[in-house]
Amino acid sequence: MDEAKAYDLIGGEEVLRKIVHRFYEVMDTFEQYKELRSIHAESLKDAEEKLFMFLSGWLGGPNLFMEKYGHPRLRARHLPFKIGKTERDQWVLCMVQAFDDVKIAEPLRSELLHSLLKLADHMRNIQETEP
């Protein structure tokens, strides 16, 4: 997939805002995402805007995050938060639900979710042993 065109293929700013809003709505609503929710501030407004801005550039759209905050340095920015397999998996599942609810079509849906899973896995910052 040509990542430079993913922003347009997904539907641009309007659809990306819907995805990000739904992502945080899912995380904030369902008990099964409580570990992920617990590492966020009480208000999700800032996190929602930052994720939108980051994903805009990541998908090949306007580099809003870099323009406002500089290089994302994702791993460094997430070090203050305990992120393990549970938080990674919950983040991805919230994103899957958001993609499904906003009706992102295949094959774009699977391609982007696969890339987001790799990105989420990169954010893990605690050692865990495999069962």
Res 2: pLDDT: 47
- pLDDT tens digit sequence for 38-79: 999 999 999 999 999 999 999 999 999 999 988 888 888 888
CA-based angle 129:36:42, to the nearest 5?
A: 145
pTM score, whole prediction? 0.90
What is the token pair recorded at 34? 């409580």
**At residue 67, what is the residue type?**
E
Mean pLDDT on 100-106: 97
* Domain boundaries defined on the chain: 3-122
Given a cut of 50, whether residue 121 has pLDDT beyond it is yes
CB atoms near residue 101 (< 10 Å):
14
CA-based angle 41:47:53, to the nearest 5?
A: 170
Q: What does DSSP assign to residue 60?
A: T
Q: Are 18 and 10 within 8 A, CB to CB?
A: no
Domain 3-122 falls in which CATH fold?
Globin-like (1.10.490)
